[in-house]
Amino acid sequence: MLSRSLRGSEFRVAWPIILLGVVGVFTSMSAALLYGFGALVVPLEDAFGWSREEITTSITFLFAGVAVGSQIVGWLFIRFGMRRVAIFSVLFQSIGYFLITQIQTSIGWLYLAFFIMPIICSGTIAITWAQLVNLWYVRNRGLALAIIFSATGLAAMIMPSAITWAISWGGWKAAFVLLGAIPLLLTLPLTLLWMKFPQVYATESKGEGGALEIPGIPFRQALKSRVFLGYNIAFTLSVALTVGMVTNAVPLLQDMGLSAATASAVFSSFGVSIVVGRLLVGFIIDRYRPTVVAIVSLALPMAGCLIFLHAGSGDIYLLIMATALIGFSAGAEFDLAAFLIARYFGLKDYARIFGLHLGLITIIAGGMPAWFGYLYGTYGNYTPVLWFCFACSFITTLVLFLMKDIPAYAATAAPKGTELSAGQVTQ
């Protein structure tokens, strides 16, 4: 067990990296725009006459753009350097939001903007901030990742109200001006000021475009690894069940006999448990075997699904527990994937390896609502949905259990004598 002083030294030296990561995740399109989009639906409907179905379809294009952007960001880092890509991506992100205010009548322009922006602004998606944190944090990597990814919860709490305020002040255009101003005023200055890299990874020889020479498994080698295959299967299924429960929990509870208000109140435990799961698992994973932590965390939805299958409308506390178990696992999933991919493949091609994983997850997540809608429409109840989610959790834990004895990539361990100090940074 590492001493408390060794663990704390990373936070003392690299706390700006955490703050930059939180702001970066918060202002990304996958957080600020996604969680604030609900407040834009009615104003866009009133302004253009588009149907709500047409408007919400734009989120599908956003997911598609993120899937593409996650595949190219790693190559951009290698070609131009992470810092340069991040800076220009933030600038393009703000410009993109400002240009959306010029949309006239065709919703096709909104679809195009939502698809193109995550591609040309790919340096602002979660992969960038995860890689930066992975470079700086070894002993506290799990907790550090958990903290920056908790910014999605912060976005969910702040952005709907902020966008509603902007709309009340200047209409739907003001909302996109706000979305563009936030990264310009927050993310860009902090990136210019704090996006630096530990000297331990900065050799005299740098790659083309100033990319850092970092040890790790090459991208092509990772693709052939059964570990990468196993992680894709496990975490994709975990995300699938999460999407299923997020989109169906409230109507499921209403079908059980709960009022809409009560069902929403029960589901509120989902959001709280996501934050708790993210931070608690991030803390634990730095101290115990990470694959075992993943197995336990991602097995919890099995218990939640069984409770939903057998509880009645009067078992409010059991229903809250079931919702919280699934939410806890959902909070842990993304952190676990970001941590384990760094642990088992190193950081050399982390952006491309994690980007491919994120792209696959995004594609599957985009198709899950339709699949769950099909199950409900075919059987007329949510029992098949719950059993499908149970199976996803079971297969996830089984795959991870079979991988539990695979050794970590040695280069991700903290090199001897490289305890970070204030001078051990490079641009």
Q: Which of 70-74, 161-165, 167-171, 346-350 has the lowest mean pLDDT?
A: 346-350
- Are 250 and 268 in contact, with CB atoms under 8 Å apart? no
Instruction: Tokens for 56, please give them.
Output: 């919400």
Over the stretch 135-176, which tens digit does the pLDDT of each residue have?
888 888 888 988 998 888 788 778 888 898 999 999 999 999
Report the first-to-last Cα separation within the chain, whole angstroms. Answer: 32
Rounded average pLDDT over 278-284: 87
Rounded average pLDDT over 205-215: 52
Same fold, 15-197 and 219-405: yes
Instruction: Tokens for 15, please give them.
Output: 């706390």
| Angle CA 80–83–85, to nearest 5 | 50
- Burial class from Cβ neighbours inside 10 Å (0-12, 13-18, 19+) for residue 314 reads exposed
Is the pLDDT higher at 249 or at 144? Answer: 144
pLDDT recorded at residue 349: 85
Considering only the top CATH level, what class is 15-197? Answer: mainly alpha
| The total number of residues written for the chain in this structure | 427
- Are 141 and 133 in contact, with CB atoms under 8 Å apart? yes
DSSP single-letter state for residue 408 = P
- Enumerate residues 6+ apart whose C-beta is below 8 A from 193: 16
pLDDT recorded at residue 405: 58
User: Which residues pair with residue 295 across a beta bridge?
Assistant: none
Domain limits, the chain: 15-197, 219-405
Q: Which residue has the tokens 């709960």?
A: 258
The span from the CA of 61 to the CA of 100, in Å, is 15
Helix, strand and coil percent figures for the chain, each rounded to 5: 80, 0, 20
Q: Does the pLDDT value for residue 427 go beyond 60?
A: no
Over the stretch 298-335, which tens digit does the pLDDT of each residue have?
999 999 999 999 988 788 899 999 988 988 888 888 88
Rounded average pLDDT over 383-404: 91
The span from the CA of 87 to the CA of 77, in Å, is 12
pLDDT recorded at residue 351: 84
Rounded average pLDDT over 89-101: 96
DSSP single-letter state for residue 382 = S
Instruction: Tokens for 341, please give them.
Output: 């991919």
Q: Does the pLDDT value for residue 199 go beyond 90?
A: no
Q: How confident is the model at residue 201 (pLDDT cuts 50, 70, 90)?
A: low
For residue 197, the SS3 value is: strand
Q: Which of 67-71, 135-139, 262-266, 402-406 has the lowest mean pLDDT?
A: 402-406
- Are 31 and 24 in contact, with CB atoms under 8 Å apart? no
Q: Which residue has the tokens 């990742």?
A: 145
Q: What is the pTM of this model?
A: 0.76
Q: Does the pLDDT value for residue 104 go beyond 80?
A: yes
- Enumerate residues 6+ apart whose C-beta is below 8 A from 384: 375, 376, 378
Over the stretch 1-36, which tens digit does the pLDDT of each residue have?
444 444 557 888 889 999 999 999 999 998 889 878
pLDDT recorded at residue 299: 94
Choices 1.20.1250.20, 3.40.50.10300, 4.10.640.10, 1.10.3720.10: CATH for 219-405: 1.20.1250.20
**AA identity, residue 368:** M
- Are 347 and 77 in contact, with CB atoms under 8 Å apart? no
